[in-house]
Amino acid sequence: MRHATLCGTRNDSHAGRSAASRYLLTPLPLSIAPAPPVIRVRDLSKHYPGHMAVQDVSFELAAGETLVLLGPSGCGKTTLLKMLNRLIEPTTGTVEINGVAVGQQRPEVLRRGIGYVIQQVGLLPHYTVAENVGVVPRLLGHTAAAIAERTSALLTRLHLPPVRFADQYPHQLSGGQQQRVGLARALAADPPIMLLDEPFGALDPVTRAGIRREFRELEELRAKTMVLVTHDVTEAFELADRIALLSGGQIQQIGTPHELLFRPANDFVRDFFAAERLALQLRTLRLRDLLPFLPPSTKTALSKSLFLGEINISLSIDEPVSPNYSVQEALEILTAPEASDAAAAQQVADASARYLIIVESDENAPRYRVALPELMAAFAHAIHHAETVWKS
C-alpha cells in the first residue's frame, strides 16, 4: 500500500527527469518491505493412509499474536501444531518461521527457539521439578547458576514456591501443578514462540478457569507469539487474538472472536458456537460497542470534582469502569452480591439502584451512567447491529 502511494506520487512528478534520477528515486523494495510474519503456513497438508489429518491449511501470525486452533477432537489440531516445529513432517506445503522454511533448519535447533507444551504434560518422571524445568537450558549449555536462578524465578512466578516444589517429583504433584511445571519448562529458555497443546486439558473446569486467568496475566507470555490448541470454546474466546476453527482437517474460518461469532463463514461455524452463543456475546461485546445504543439521558457531563464527590458518597453503588470492559464484566459488577458491610448491603438491596459509570481515560470524553435495564437493552441493540451490519 505504502509502496504503491510512493510510486504513484513519483510518477506524477518525474516526467522529464533522467532515467538515472528516476532510478535513484525508486525506493528499494527491501527498505520498505515489512518484516516477514513470525509464522507463515502455506497449503499445509498431512495425509495418513486413507485419512487426511490436515488439508490445505494457510495462515500467517504476526509477532506477539495469539492464534487459537479450535475444533472437535480428531479434527487435526495436534497434527497441525506439530508440523510447525517439525515433530511431524507435512505431506505437502510449507512452514516458515521468521521468513525461513523450517525444512531448512535442524529440528533440534528449531525446537529450542520454540517452546512446546504437549497435550499430556509429559514431564520426565525420574527428574525433579527443577530438573524438568532446566532441560532445554542445559541442552543450550547455560551455566548451572544461570539455570538455577531462572528455574527458581519461573517456579515462583507460576505459584510453585521453589523451597517446596523444586525437589519434588512429578507424581507428587496435582494435575494443575504438573501443568504449571510443563509451562515453566517451555518458558525456561525464553523462546519467542510458544506452541501449547491443550495446556489446561487435564484440569477440572474451576481450576481451569483460575489457571487461565493467571496465564493471561503472566508477564512472561505478553510479548510471545503463540499458537494454542483447545477444544474449549470459552477458553478460545478468552485467550485468542484470532481463532482458527477446524473441522475435518480444514480451517472453516479464521478471524477474531468477534468475526467468528457475528460473521460465521458457514453453518458449521454458526452451529459450533450455537450452544454458548449468549455467553460468548457477553464476553465479546465491550461497553464501547454499546455506547451508540444507550439512551441520550445516560450521557452525563459530570465535572471531575462532582464525579469524585459522588464516588465518595456512594462508592459501593456507582462503579467507574472503562469502556473496554466486556458486557460480561459489567454484568458481574452490577449484579454482584455486596459482601462487605450491612449498611452498603442495605443501599444496594434494590439492584436497580446500582449504576456503572463508564469512563474514558480521556478527561473530556462524555461519561455514561448506566443501570442494568439500560445495559441489557443496549446489549440487545448492539447484537442486532453486529449481526445485520455484517450481513449487508
Q: Residues in the site for ligand ADP, rule: CB under 6 A?
A: 48, 51, 53, 71, 73-79
- The stretch among 70-78, 178-186, 200-208, 209-217 that binds Mg ion (CB under 5 A) is 70-78
Query: E strands of 105-191, at which residues?
Result: 114-117
Smallest distance from Mg ion to CB 66, Å = 18
- The stretch among 76-84, 107-115, 204-212, 305-313 that binds Mg ion (CB under 5 A) is 76-84
- The stretch among 74-82, 310-318, 320-328, 361-369 that binds Mg ion (CB under 5 A) is 74-82
The nearer residue to Mg ion, 78 or 247, going by C-beta atoms, is 78
The nearer residue to ligand ADP, 73 or 305, going by C-beta atoms, is 73
Smallest distance from Mg ion to CB 50, Å = 20
The binder of 36, among ligand ADP, Mg ion, none, by C-beta within 5 to 8 A per type, is none
Smallest distance from ligand ADP to CB 232, Å = 13
How many CB atoms are located within 10 Å of the residue 383 CB?
A: 22
Rounded to 5 degrees, φ, ψ at 316 are: -80, -10
Q: Which residues, numbered 305-344, are part of the site for Mg ion (CB under 5 A)? A: none
The nearer residue to ligand ADP, 79 or 179, going by C-beta atoms, is 79
Smallest distance from ligand ADP to CB 73, Å = 4
3 state DSSP class of 302: coil
The nearer residue to ligand ADP, 129 or 245, going by C-beta atoms, is 245
Handedness of CA 284, 289, 291, 295 (dihedral sign): negative
Please, are residues 70 and 244 in contact by the beta-carbon 8 Å criterion?
Answer: yes
Smallest distance from ligand ADP to CB 187, Å = 23
Smallest distance from ligand ADP to CB 41, Å = 15
State how far Cα 86 lies from the chain centre.
Answer: 24
The DSSP code sequence of 176-218 is HHHHHHHHHHHHTT--SEEEEESTTTTS-HHHHHHHHHHHHH-
Q: Rounded CA gap, 141 and 157, in Å? A: 24
Please, are residues 357 and 318 in contact by the beta-carbon 8 Å criterion?
Answer: yes
Please, are residues 244 and 65 in contact by the beta-carbon 8 Å criterion?
Answer: no
The binder of 73, among Mg ion, ligand ADP, none, by C-beta within 5 to 8 A per type, is ligand ADP
The binder of 240, among ligand ADP, Mg ion, none, by C-beta within 5 to 8 A per type, is none
Smallest distance from ligand ADP to CB 75, Å = 4
Handedness of CA 154, 158, 164, 170 (dihedral sign): negative
**Closest among 9, 42, 43, 41 to 26, alpha carbons compared:** 9
The nearer residue to ligand ADP, 75 or 129, going by C-beta atoms, is 75
Q: Per CB under 5 A, does 78 bind Mg ion?
A: yes
Binding site for Mg ion (CB under 5 A): 78
